[in-house]
Amino acid sequence: MYSRRNLLKKTGAVGALGITGVSGCIGSFGEQSYGNGEINFMMSPSEPQDYMRSQYKPYADHLQEQTGTTVSLKYAADYSAVLQGLGSGTADIAETGPFAAALGVKADKANIALQRHAYGSWDYTSVIVTKKDSGIDSLSDLEGEKVGFADMTSASGSLYPLYMLQKAGLSIGEAPVSDSGADFTGTWSGHAEAFAALENDQVAAAGVGKFITQADDGELADGYKYVKTYEGIPRAPMVVSPNLSEEGKNDVINALQAAPEKVYYGADGESDTDDDLWFDDVRTADLKTYEPVIKVANELELSTDLLNQG
């Protein structure tokens, strides 16, 4: 599979890829639903729109072929719009992050359907990383320092780093909405951007997914060290609308579980290229799978209102 870190560096260059037959960026949804003869598959805005369409086109084609139902790929304006569509029943299935999914379950706007597999495992790791010569040896050393985070709705790049800081006795104030009242100065951007800020000495540490800190051989990049790690975060799920019938839900789940390897290769049909999907398999999952994420969201007292901040 193509290197995730290299992929993140290239997303600006692949935004020009075009896929026909799918709708544009939306913040609200039409009236068509699976019950009316169409499966609306929502993509969360984690990467540029055209890039994600090129990734998911074969995936949607397979779903359409297996269910015999027209599949419409839609790109949401934000994570809140994904949950809005699922909650209203005008979106049927969505790919999203574990944090957004956890908040959606809390608000009765989404049901967990599938868990994704990537880089050899069904879970992944959040880290707070610094440079070896920073003088920072524990999380308490970050009091008064500047810390970079990924997007505020990222589980590995925001939710879990904040949880680790809070458990270490630091006040997180109003984070991740702002760093008001926090014992540190926080900035939120993306995984690649937060790690780049650390590389350029703009922050003392970065809270990110472990994948962005690794060299091509899978080891931590030279010159860095982990201050704290949190393992066992379930990888991002596929979620469905609570309004979807049991039959409709099972049809979608069974079709995606049986998808051949080639659907993960993107629109060009070739493996190890820029438009590969970042994951390579799915398995059934439920609320219990994501209870660790929901627990952390509850401890940080976060709600779906946070998704409107993105």
Q: Tens digit of pLDDT for each residue in 102-127? A: 888 888 999 999 999 998 999 999 99
Q: Is residue 240 part of a domain?
A: yes
Please tell me whether residues 8 and 110 are part of one structural domain.
Answer: yes
Q: Is residue 310 part of a domain?
A: no
pLDDT at 105: 87
Please tell me the distance from the alpha carbon of residue 119 to that of residue 162, in angstroms, as a whole number. 25
Please tell me whether residues 105 and 161 are part of one structural domain.
Answer: no
Domain boundaries, position 144: 123-234
Of 217, 234, 251, which residue is a domain's last? 234
Least Cα distance to 118 among 293, 296, 279 occurs for: 279
pLDDT, tens digit, 9 for 90 and up, residues 145-172 = 999 999 888 899 999 999 999 999 999 9
pLDDT at 283: 97
Q: Is residue 192 part of a domain?
A: yes
Please tell me whether residues 26 and 110 are part of one structural domain.
Answer: yes
Of 192, 219, 234, which residue is a domain's last? 234
Please tell me whether residues 170 and 244 are part of one structural domain.
Answer: no
Please tell me whether residues 32 and 179 are part of one structural domain.
Answer: no
pLDDT at 27: 43
Please tell me whether residues 115 and 244 are part of one structural domain.
Answer: yes
Of 207, 234, 261, which residue is a domain's last? 234
Please tell me whether residues 172 and 213 are part of one structural domain.
Answer: yes
pLDDT at 249: 92
pLDDT at 228: 98
DSSP 235: P
Please tell me whether residues 247 and 114 are part of one structural domain.
Answer: yes
Residues of the chain whose pLDDT is less than 70?
Answer: 1-36, 304, 307-310
pLDDT at 31: 41
Which CATH number is 257's domain given? 3.40.190.10
Please tell me whether residues 226 and 149 are part of one structural domain.
Answer: yes
Please tell me whether residues 221 and 242 are part of one structural domain.
Answer: no
Q: Is residue 80 part of a domain?
A: yes
Please tell me whether residues 110 and 166 are part of one structural domain.
Answer: no
Please tell me whether residues 127 and 215 are part of one structural domain.
Answer: yes
pLDDT at 29: 39
pTM listed for this prediction: 0.80
Domain total for the chain?
2
